[in-house]
Structure 1
Amino acid sequence: MTPDITGLATLHPPFLIGALPGLDSLFSTQGIMVMLLAAYAVAMWMFLTSAPKVFTIMVSDLELARQLYEGMLGLPAAEVPLHYYYNYEQTLGTAAIDPLYVSPALGRSTLDTASNPGGQWYQLKKNTQLHVIAGASLGEKNRQRHVCFDRDCLEQVLLRIQMRNMKYKIRREKPLNFLVKDYEGNVIEMAEVSN
C-alpha cells in the first residue's frame, strides 16, 4: 500500500518568504545592510564601553618616572589597551602640546616618542590606566616635571602619594600643582595644564 501524497500539498503549501508580512523587505539587500549596520553599532558600543579610561602624563625623564610610578607608588604594569593599537592617540599628536611645556631641544626622536602609544603603561585603578610618555621640559631649578591635562589623573596620583606617606607640597589648587620628593631626593613637579 502506497500513501496518497496528493492531499498533503493542499494541507501544507510550500513555504515562501514573501508569504509572511514584512519578511520580504527584511531579507532584501537594504534590509540586510540595515541589520549589518545595527550589529556593527552594537559591537562598537560594547568594545568602547569595555575599554579602560586612559590618563596620559608627559614627563621629562622616563627612567625617573618609572622609578616613581613602579617603585615608590607601587603601580603595576598594564597592557596597552586595544583601542591604542588602532592609532587612537595618534590623532592627538604633538600639535596639541603647548610649546611652553615641551623641551627646547625637542628632536625627532622625542617627537616620535611623544606621539606614539609607547612609553610606560600602569594600572591606576580597576578600569583606569596611566600612560607615561616623554616630552615635558624641565621645570625651574632643573626639576623633573610631570605634566597632565586631566585633573582627575593628578588627584589619583596625589592620593597614592598621600597613602604612601611620601613628602609632598601642594603649590596651587587650581590648576593643581604640587611637588613630591622621591627616595633619592629628586623634587618632581606635578602640574595640571588647562586646555
Structure 2
Amino acid sequence: MLIPLVNSELIISYYFGAFLPVDSIFSTQGIMVMLLAAYALAMWMFLTSAPKVHTIMVSDLEVAKQFYEGLLNLSVAEVPLHYYYNYEQVLGTSGVDPMYLSTTTATNPQLRGSEGLWYQLKKNTQLHIISGASFGPNNRQRHVCFDRQCLDEILLRVQARRLKYKIRRNKPLNFLVKDIEERVIEMAEVNN
C-alpha cells in the first residue's frame, strides 16, 4: 500500500487557483471587464443619487416665478448635474392634446437643459418650470404636467398655504388656483 505525500500548500494553492483564475483576471479581456463593471457601478451611483425632476410647462415664466417663489415659497434649486450632460427626460409631447401646447413657443438657442426655473420641491425632488403651454380660456395661465405625483405635491402646498383653489377633475387631475393678483392658474395633468 502506497501513501502519497502531498504538500498542504500545494493543495491550498490548487483550490484557490481553481476559484480565482489570476492569469485570466489580469489579461487584457479581464481588465476590460473590470473597467466596464467599474464604469457601470459609477454610472449607477451617479444616476441614483441625482434628484428626481418633475417638469411643468407654463404659459408665462414670470407669472410662474411669482407663483412658485412668492406664493408657494419654494426655494430656488441648483440645476442637477445630469441635466448638464443631457441625461434629462424628454417630454413626450407626441400624445399631448394640442390645446395645452403653445403655438408661439419662443426658445433661446443659447439655453440648454438648464433653461427655465428650478425649485426644490422636497429633499431629493426638484421642480423644473419651462415655457411652452398655451393660455387657457379668458387668457388664463396654464401649467401642464405629465406626472400626477408632482401635481399632488403642488396641491398639498396650495392647501397648506390656504390658497383659494377648486378641483375641476380628479382623473386626470385638473384644478384652479388663484395667485396674489387674483389671476386664475389652471394646473392640469396630461396623460401620455
> What range is the shorter-chain TM-score in?
0.7 to 0.9
- The counterpart of 2:127, out of the listed 105, 126, 130, is 130
The equivalent of 1:8 in structure 2 is none
User: Does the CA-based 8 Å contact 1:150-1:192 persist in structure 2?
Assistant: yes
User: What is the distance in 2 between the residues matched to 1:67 and 1:113?
Assistant: 24
Give the drift of 1:92. Answer: 4.1
More moved, 49-58 vs 86-95: 86-95
Question: In the aligned structure 2, how far is the partner of 1:141 from the partner of 1:102?
Answer: 16
1:55-102 deviation per Cα after TM superposition (whole angstroms, max 9, x unaligned) = 000000000000000000000000000110111237448667553321
Per-residue Cα deviation, 1:78-128 (whole angstroms, up to 9, x for no partner): 00001101112374486675533212333xx33859974310000000000
CA contact 2:96–2:190 (8 Å) conserved in 1: no
Aligned CA RMSD, in angstroms, stands at: 2.2
Tell me the distance in 2 between the aligned counterparts of 1:112 and 1:180: 33
Where do residues 1-195 of structure 1 align in structure 2 (5 Å cutoff)? 21=17, 22-89=21-88, 91-92=90-91, 98-106=97-105, 109-110=106-107, 116-195=113-192
CA pair 40-116 structure 1, distance change in 2 beyond 3 A: closer
Letter in 2 for 1:55: H
> Within 1, Cα distance between the matches of 2:109 and 2:89?
10
Once residues 150 and 93 of structure 1 are traced to their aligned partners in structure 2, the CA distance between those partners, rounded to angstroms, is 11
Check whether the contact 1:113–1:133 (CA below 8 A) recurs between aligned residues: no
Unaligned 5+ runs, structure 2: 1-15
Identity %, equivalent residues: 71
Contact 1:114 / 1:134 at 8 angstroms: preserved in 2? no
Offset of 1:30 from its aligned partner? Answer: 0.4
AA of the residue aligned to 1:76? S
**SS of the residue aligned with 1:89?**
coil
Q: Equivalent residue of 1:56, what SS?
A: strand
Measure the CA separation in 2 of the matches of 1:192 and 1:41: 35
Q: 1:71 to 1:157 in 2, by over 3 A?
A: same
User: For the structure 1 residues 96 and 175, does the alpha-carbon distance in structure 2 shift closer, same or farther, using more than 3 Å as the test?
Assistant: closer
* Aligned residue pair count: 174
3-state DSSP class of the match of 1:166?
A: coil
Q: TM-score by structure 2 length?
A: 0.84
CA contact (8 A) 2:101 2:134 kept: yes
Counterparts of 2:42 and 2:30, CA distance in 1: 19
TM-score (norm 1): 0.82
Residues 74 and 177 (structure 1), Cα distance of their counterparts in 2 relative to 1, 3 Å cut: same
Alpha-carbon separation, structure 2, partners of 1:111 and 1:147: 20
2-structure distance, mates of 1:42, 1:188:
43
**CA separation of 1:146/1:166 partners in 2, compared to 1, >3 Å: closer, same or farther?**
same
